[in-house]
Structure 1
């Protein structure tokens, strides 16, 4: 099925068919020429490699299962040629028939060329196909080239602006050992759905020196992780990603292939690992991601499914220098956004204000405890304060985190806070009007339901209750955060 999909994609039109065939034949001839002049591979090693359904992977990657020694001894070059031919005839042309005479002639030419190839050449073609589709078997040279491209991008985007001595030393081939380096910083945004977390995550990630761990728990589904075995699994994944360890997290990587934003939000990384000719399989290779992630000193991670108390282990690791932004939003705004903006909020954890505000109470208690244990490393931020004064609040936040106010961040704020794009996942809003937007949408019944479930915790964060949505103004619904709310 995968082969057929790939072939259909490549053979999408007559022009692309002929271009592909020409490239394939050129590649095969080039490989055959090189292989005849370079070191010879022993026949025994050759047969062992050919016996694998998934060809040998590079160092640091998980090795696929291989057939037994008995199967190896039976495999011979004609078997491999037969398999490659079957891919060309059956996989690419359903039913084994061609729609046009020209296509049939092109196929015959390719099949004739296959018969002339040496075994090792066929092996290279199969490995090329495998690396196109399988993240675990991507070519090592391609990985190294992508990492070099990423390094240069980071040097240009970050070092040239913030650490010019590093860029100068690189251009002039001077040693870097004495050059200033950015210290490590891992920022975790801890909140819940529809609380402004995507805006804040995109703001931080707009800094070219920040690696973005976007929604790492998305495969846990539309529920909150409050404890038990699920919390332990979530903690392990979070700690591993903060350490740039991707190996062993197949569920996460499988989800990333389905929802590519988990990787693609790192624009420099995505640019380095994906292209039209070779696809994006490299972008989901655990070895590549680990090395790419390690090139960044700073990272941001958005969590909307894990409650705050479970982030204590991350704070205890002083080498990571983890800072937590505990982001809260008026429950009325949260619940309105969940019901009026998106269609997927269909679980009690998402659509029942009792669960939302129970979690807010638990998170506030956890925040007080963590603030006492780790002074200066847990920051409480109200979405409304950021929306009303985005530039100044961003400057203040970055100062607390130890990050510079990069020009990319200024551009992001300019383009995302002055206009409304009314789509569920858009972060472009006229931010000042969003604070009381819920008042134009909530019914009196829904308002009473939310305030009845959340009145106490709303007061703790400075959110004022109202009797009606009519005539709501900012001063009627938003006050200062009581000092007592943050006392342990």
Structure 2
């Protein structure tokens, strides 16, 4: 009898705990739902609304559906693309090829704010590990404990998060970076920017949930970087084996000419910057060849001049490389933006591309042409540019 009473009491306690757990799970789910609901409400000027009505508002752009439902019944596998290029290398045009695709999610320079943070935090490299200053001091004092075999640097971490649509895991500095301000005109960023405006306090992490859903609902995620070396791409490939990489290059003399117009380089300063650029391009190309030998289907070398002179043909080549059909609306966009006489985008996409591609040859001084050519002779031959 005593044993039966004891067993009954145990069952009663277990049931009580189960009820408490279920209640906790219920209220946690309700709290999370309320947080998402708050985003929905602030987007409509503080008025309570349903997901359906919010979806109706957002559908006016015809670029996304906030509830995470694909526009088609079957969701295709997401293709992840890294566009690795150079400052003043004509990459704005390349980026727009993906930004104008309503099925693609295009991240524009997400490493801009990361580089600033890295320089401010003073990162040291020890035995192949990237450590922020605080970690380095702890390591010296033997108080850090055992480090993992591999410490991924902040730039690689950010790229993995952007390529896999983990927007809520991004730092606030990235979520508020120049990349988003420059991308305000891109329809797929509008709900995120609207959310920030409506919250007034700019709740980045909360609004990033919207950004994440739009990204996850895309069939293509493309990220353009000018601040990431090709020899670090293998870190990305370890996490994302099917990553597609486009190495986008331009005649270094055209790049240096474009940069010097902004920075006023000449003489030794011009030579130093040309030498640095071409050394960087050579290192990137060496790493690119190694990666390409390992998996030729996932790496594409592309020239700015090729895209500017044979635009439609080259865009078809790009889409064939990533395994997607070229969107029909891109043909109209190509016509409007490669033969235009005026600029209409902050980073200079709209112009007559065929007139622009070799314009630097008419502007560059003979002495500067010789200076840059001498510094870049090896890489000019590698990319088969006219000397």
* Same topology, TM > 0.5: yes
Q: What corresponds to 1:240 in structure 2?
A: 161
In the alignment, the residues of structure 2 paired with residue 141 and residue 273 of structure 1 have an alpha-carbon distance, to the nearest angstrom, of 20
1:360 corresponds to 2:267: no
Q: What corresponds to 2:331 in structure 1?
A: 410
Residues 274 and 282, structure 1, Cα contact 8 Å, conserved in 2: no
Distance verdict in 2 for CA 1:151–1:436, change over 3 Å: same
In the alignment, the residues of structure 1 paired with residue 384 and residue 79 of structure 2 have an alpha-carbon distance, to the nearest angstrom, of 30
Correspondence list, 1:72-151, <5 A: 144=51, 148-149=55-56
Q: 1:444 aligns with which of 352, 366, 370?
A: 366
Distance verdict in 2 for CA 1:157–1:217, change over 3 Å: closer
SS at match of 1:403: coil
SS at match of 1:260: helix
Q: 1:184 aligns with which of 69, 78, 94?
A: 78
Distance verdict in 2 for CA 1:426–1:457, change over 3 Å: same
Distance verdict in 2 for CA 1:249–1:145, change over 3 Å: farther
Gaps of at least 5 residues in structure 2 are 1-29, 132-151
1:214 corresponds to 2:135: no
Gaps of at least 5 residues in structure 1 are 1-56, 63-126, 133-137, 160-165, 170-178, 466-488
Deviations 1:104-141 (A, max 9, x none): xxxxxxxxxxxxxxxxxxxxxxx99xx79xxxxx9897
Q: Tell me the CA shift for residue 349 of structure 1.
A: 11
Deviations 1:169-222 (A, max 9, x none): 8xxxxxxxxx43322101111011011111100112101010011110112259
In the alignment, the residues of structure 1 paired with residue 129 and residue 274 of structure 2 have an alpha-carbon distance, to the nearest angstrom, of 23
Q: What corresponds to 2:18 in structure 1?
A: none
Residues 249 and 302, structure 2, Cα contact 8 Å, conserved in 1: yes
SS at match of 1:274: helix
Q: What corresponds to 1:252 in structure 2?
A: 174
In the alignment, the residues of structure 1 paired with residue 378 and residue 76 of structure 2 have an alpha-carbon distance, to the nearest angstrom, of 42
Q: What corresponds to 1:59 in structure 2?
A: 32
Larger Cα-atom Rg: 1
SS at match of 1:326: strand
Residues 283 and 289, structure 1, Cα contact 8 Å, conserved in 2: no
In the alignment, the residues of structure 2 paired with residue 345 and residue 316 of structure 1 have an alpha-carbon distance, to the nearest angstrom, of 40
Deviations 1:342-392 (A, max 9, x none): 45999x899811111001100110110110122210100011111111011
Q: What corresponds to 1:202 in structure 2?
A: 96
**CA RMSD after TM alignment:** 4.2
Residues 315 and 374, structure 1, Cα contact 8 Å, conserved in 2: no
Residues 191 and 328, structure 1, Cα contact 8 Å, conserved in 2: yes
In the alignment, the residues of structure 2 paired with residue 359 and residue 431 of structure 1 have an alpha-carbon distance, to the nearest angstrom, of 26
Q: What corresponds to 2:238 in structure 1?
A: 316
In the alignment, the residues of structure 1 paired with residue 294 and residue 325 of structure 2 have an alpha-carbon distance, to the nearest angstrom, of 26
Q: 1:400 aligns with which of 295, 306, 321?
A: 321
1:329 corresponds to 2:302: no
Q: What corresponds to 1:103 in structure 2?
A: none
In the alignment, the residues of structure 2 paired with residue 194 and residue 405 of structure 1 have an alpha-carbon distance, to the nearest angstrom, of 26
Higher relative contact order (CA 8 A, sep 6+): 2
Q: What corresponds to 1:372 in structure 2?
A: 293
Q: What corresponds to 1:229 in structure 2?
A: 130
In the alignment, the residues of structure 2 paired with residue 143 and residue 250 of structure 1 have an alpha-carbon distance, to the nearest angstrom, of 28
In the alignment, the residues of structure 2 paired with residue 147 and residue 350 of structure 1 have an alpha-carbon distance, to the nearest angstrom, of 56
SS at match of 1:463: coil
Residues 319 and 326, structure 2, Cα contact 8 Å, conserved in 1: yes
Q: Tell me the CA shift for residue 229 of structure 1.
A: 3.0
Q: TM-score, normalised by structure 1?
A: 0.56
In the alignment, the residues of structure 2 paired with residue 431 and residue 395 of structure 1 have an alpha-carbon distance, to the nearest angstrom, of 17
